[in-house]
């Protein structure tokens, strides 16, 4: 369904809307030539649809309805094909028009109208009926069949097909499959009107400054005018992203004509070569055409896989599908601010987005761009595994599963799209807050089980974990710092926590959010206790205290000491004061002064705990130098 939505968008993302078809009276009699490729079918085409029945006789599907009770079918009319694969048609009741067409890769989805455009071909779901309807229509997924034929599969009832049926009369109906329910044959032959100038294309005049590429429903033009698949350039709204190799031009409009200017300043000539002189183009009966006395039309020829300008007579003889103007987005740009937020603008191909540099990027804002139709995983490692990716809410269907932390930007509020577990000790920066469902975002760390306290600060609210004591700073009074136990953990509130198990070592602590807002915008402070979501490096001895190795006392840090994200520290106005830590009515411990702490040679783990010496394996900061013990 995602691919279908994507290709539906591609089919309708024209700079212009469709135009009404000309009267068939201006077109007939005319020759209709046999076609055998899906690339030869375009929106607005006039077709004859026929099949060989069980008696090896060829019939065309007409619009005359055979009605017997509630059983509706369309009569077949006998016809003959010339040796060169043409049928000369004089009867407009045998002509069908492609009212809408969407390319789905291995098939095209079409709705059909009578040649006059007054009725749609319609089949009531779940029946063999086939009839004409003024407002209802059936979509048919058309694929290639045997020997250059086509198979029309009912998109609303995928086990039904358009086919021919013979008893005492010949009719066309909606049948389950070939040979079942009376269908003689579901392999249909198509014949296309060979009167290009009289047909109606789907282009209208572009606007001044529009950036465009040439395309069909299945191809886009390279800068060398070769047909290529649109997927590398295709965005989710059906427009294209600019890229090397894609032919694109900027339109400059003057009255009923326009010129096409390339990025290098040259103009597109009538022979499709670059020219210093501007050449005028026009939209003629919905087709892109040169503004010449004998206009040439821009078409795509599948046999040569090329876009070219040809006269109507040449197209009638050699064939060609009318090109359309496809909208091309602005050049892609990126901006990295001082906080680590990278913002993208313009139109990005899937490859360009995947190759984006993520050096120093803590958060990525894609809210101003239309995502590629099929985005890829990022090829480069971000500065933090906790990097959120913000996308517009309208782009939700196109977010790849490889993007693990995605926030949808809505008009009134942002919301978390994915399930996220924040990585401990890795930076977190949320330039915009968002809402999350209960349990949608979590945080894990290895918690000490040695009877000592640890510091904690989270961007979301959660329940107090079982087996842990949680305390929040209440006040600094006289010579004491007083903590009080809490029954829950509030967002952006620095705390101390205690694993009630004293089994030694560590155990995994998982904290899952309550339903509500997730944010790092509010400064996480609680009096003199301050939290951080970024790694901190102490540059000077400035009254900052980390927990000591026993998890019971705070010590003054030395310059060069480090603290990991999701933790807290004390910021005091005096560095010589000795204070006592009180949790409730018990647990009074000294806070060491700078002299007591021997700050100039203190050893700290990245948890922010001071260690007398690095007894265990890990990374330690001694003074201003980092050491790794194996």
Q: 620 near 603, Cβ under 8 Å? A: yes
**Cα–Cα distance, 44 to 9 (Å, whole number):** 18
pLDDT at 368: 97
pLDDT at 197: 79
pLDDT (tens digit per residue) in 507-536:
999 999 999 999 998 878 877 899 999 999
pLDDT at 602: 47
pLDDT (tens digit per residue) in 489-513:
999 999 999 999 888 888 999 999 9
pLDDT at 234: 96
Half-sphere exposure at residue 110, Cβ-oriented, CA atoms within 13 angstroms: 25
Residues with Cβ within 8 Å of residue 40, at least 6 apart in sequence: 192, 302, 319, 321
| Residue of 432, 425, 422, 426 whose CA lies nearest to 513 | 422
Which portions of the chain are predicted below pLDDT 70?
Answer: 1-22, 69-70, 177-182, 478-479, 541, 574-581, 585-630
pLDDT at 479: 65
Burial of 557 from C-beta contacts in 10 A (0-12 / 13-18 / 19+):
buried
**Cα–Cα distance, 56 to 135 (Å, whole number):** 35
Q: 284 near 309, Cβ under 8 Å? A: no
Q: What angle do CA 29, 35, 36 make, to 5 degrees?
A: 165
Spans of all domains in the chain: 20-197, 203-327, 333-418, 441-526, 529-629
Q: 105 near 3, Cβ under 8 Å? A: yes
pLDDT at 1: 42
Q: Does domain 20-197 have CATH number 3.30.365.10?
A: no
Supply the CATH classification number for the domain 203-327: 2.80.10
Task: Give this prediction's pTM.
Answer: 0.72
Residues with Cβ within 8 Å of residue 1, at least 6 apart in sequence: none
Same fold flag, 20-197 and 203-327: yes
| Helix boundaries (H) for 286-409 | 312-318, 350-354
> Does residue 29 have a cis bond before it (omega within 30 degrees)?
yes
pLDDT at 542: 73
Q: 334 near 400, Cβ under 8 Å? A: no
**Cα–Cα distance, 231 to 525 (Å, whole number):** 49
Report how far Cα 363 is from the mean position of its chain's Cα atoms. 18
DSSP letter, residue 43: T
CA distances from 2 to 6, 142, 430 (A): 6, 19, 29
66's tokens:
């055979």
Q: 612 near 604, Cβ under 8 Å? A: no
The residues that bridge with 555 in the sheet, in sequence order, are 546
pLDDT at 544: 87
**Cα–Cα distance, 554 to 577 (Å, whole number):** 12
pLDDT at 577: 53
% the chain with pLDDT above 90: 66
Residues with Cβ within 8 Å of residue 155, at least 6 apart in sequence: 109, 138, 139, 140, 141
| Helix boundaries (H) for 185-279 | none
């Amino acid at each position: 369904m995602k691919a279908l939505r994507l290709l539906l968008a591609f089919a309708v993302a024209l700079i212009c809307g469709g135009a009404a078809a000309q009267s068939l009276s201006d077109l007939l009699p005319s020759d209709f030539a046999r076609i055998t490729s899906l690339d030869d079918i375009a929106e607005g085409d006039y077709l004859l649809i026929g099949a060989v029945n069980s008696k090896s006789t060829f019939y065309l599907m007409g619009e005359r309805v055979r009605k017997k009770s509630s059983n509706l079918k369309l009569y077949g009319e006998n016809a003959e094909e010339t040796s060169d694969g043409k049928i000369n048609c004089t009867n407009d009741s045998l002509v069908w028009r492609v009212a809408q067409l969407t390319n789905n890769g291995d098939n095209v989805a079409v709705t059909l109208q009578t040649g006059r455009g007054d009725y749609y071909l319609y089949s009531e779901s779940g029946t063999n009926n086939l009839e004409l309807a003024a407002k209802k229509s059936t979509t048919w997924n058309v694929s290639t069949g045997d020997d250059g034929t086509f198979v029309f599969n009912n998109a609303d009832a995928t086990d039904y097909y358009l086919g021919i049926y013979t008893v005492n009369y010949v009719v066309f109906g909606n049948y389950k499959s070939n040979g079942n329910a009376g269908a003689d044959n579901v392999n249909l032959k198509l014949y296309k009107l060979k009167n290009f100038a009289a047909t109606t294309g789907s282009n209208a005049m572009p606007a001044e400054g529009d950036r465009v590429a040439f395309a069909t429903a299945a191809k886009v033009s390279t800068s060398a005018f070769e047909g290529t698949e649109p997927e590398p350039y295709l965005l989710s709204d059906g427009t294209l992203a600019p890229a090397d190799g894609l032919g694109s031009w900027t339109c400059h409009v003057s009255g009923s004509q326009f010129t096409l200017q390339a990025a290098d300043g040259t103009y597109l000539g009538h022979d499709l070569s670059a020219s210093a002189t501007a050449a005028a183009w026009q939209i003629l009966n919905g087709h892109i055409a040169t503004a010449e006395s004998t206009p040439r039309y821009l078409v795509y020829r599948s046999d040569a896989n090329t876009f070219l300008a040809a006269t109507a007579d040449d197209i009638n003889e050699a064939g060609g599908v009318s090109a359309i103007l496809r909208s091309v987005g602005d050049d892609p740009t990126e901006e990295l601010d001082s906080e680590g937020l990278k913002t993208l603008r313009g139109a990005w191909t899937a490859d360009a987005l995947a190759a984006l540099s993520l050096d120093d990027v803590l958060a990525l804002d894609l809210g101003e761009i239309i995502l590629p139709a099929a985005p890829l995983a990022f090829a480069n490692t971000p500065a933090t595994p906790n990097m959120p990716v913000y996308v517009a809410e309208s782009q939700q269907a196109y977010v790849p599963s490889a993007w693990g932390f995605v926030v949808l930007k809505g008009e009134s509020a942002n919301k978390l799209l994915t399930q996220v577990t924040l990585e401990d000790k890795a930076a977190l920066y949320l330039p915009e807050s968002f809402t999350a469902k209960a349990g949608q975002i979590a945080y894990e760390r290895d918690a000490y089980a040695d009877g000592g306290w640890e510091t904690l600060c989270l961007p979301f609210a959660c329940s107090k974990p079982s087996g842990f004591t949680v305390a929040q700073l209440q006040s600094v009074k006289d010579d004491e710092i007083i903590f009080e136990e809490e029954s829950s953990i509030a967002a952006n509130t620095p705390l101390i926590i205690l694993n009630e198990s004293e089994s030694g070592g560590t155990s995994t602590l998982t904290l899952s959010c309550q339903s509500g807002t997730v944010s790092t915008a509010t400064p996480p402070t609680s009096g003199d206790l301050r939290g951080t979501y970024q790694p901190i490096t102490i540059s000077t001895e400035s009254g900052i205290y980390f927990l000591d190795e026993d998890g019971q006392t705070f010590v003054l840090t030395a310059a060069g000491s480090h603290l990991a994200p999701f933790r807290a520290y004390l910021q005091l106005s005096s560095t010589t004061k000795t204070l006592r830590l009180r949790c409730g009515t018990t647990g009074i411990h000294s806070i060491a002064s700078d002299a007591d702490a021997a700050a100039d040679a203190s050893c700290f783990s990245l948890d922010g705990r001071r260690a007398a010496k690095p007894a265990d394996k890990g990374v330690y900061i001694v003074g201003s130098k980092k050491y790794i013990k194996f």
